[in-house]
Copies of this chain bind each other. A is one copy, B any other.
Amino acid sequence: MLHSLLEKINKNIPFEKASAHCDVPCGIYDPAVAQISALTVIRMTDLINELADKADKTIADEARLVRLVNEKEDHAVRVKEEIRIIWGDYFKEPQFEKVPNAHELVHSIMMKASVCKQGVDRQVAVELLELVNKFAEGFWATKGVETFTATCPYPPAEKVVYPKLNG
């Protein structure tokens, strides 16, 4: 069934036409990378908070904190970058019709990722993932691809929006 859906998609998205107006002409856009980075922000926040609960931190614990913070930072930036690229390169008139609040959604992702960078509040990190999931949902809608939500198969085991594909 999915196979025939994909055939329809192939017919409905004339790739040649697409290639005329994208950035690296017809670069591949996929929100999965941003989603994995948002998951990593949650994971690192969790591990930082575990350290917070430790009574006497050794120098190895302190070194570990540096690495966890860096990892959280890098992935929060990657979320921003990946979303900026899809929004800034791929979103044009037809996409904005499908996702009318794209500007506000993208800006709220930027703001939320900044709050994640500044602090260690798990709830904020989860909210970042939820915003990125909303963006992914909109993105797949512009492609005519249905989505579903599932728990990602590794820690932090949070809900992620995936495209519906079948073998």
**Chain A positions near chain B (C-beta within 8 angstroms):** 2-3, 6, 9-10, 13, 15, 18-19, 22-30, 32-33, 36, 39-40, 43-44, 47-49, 51-52, 58-60, 62-73, 80-81, 84, 87-89, 91-92, 103-104, 107, 110-111, 113-114, 117-120, 140, 143, 145, 148-155, 157, 162-163, 165-167
Contacts and interface: CB of A to CB of B under 8 A. Distances in A.
B6 A157 contact: yes
A25 B166 contact: no
Contacts of A154: 13, 28-30, 143
A106 B49 CA distance: 34
B92 A84 contact: no
Given A117-B67, A119-B60, A6 B150 contact: yes
Tally of this chain's copies: 6
Nearest to A50: B19
**6 nearest CB pairs, A to B:** A88-B110, A52-B59, A148-B167, A103-B103, A150-B165, A23-B114
Contacts of A69: 63, 66-67
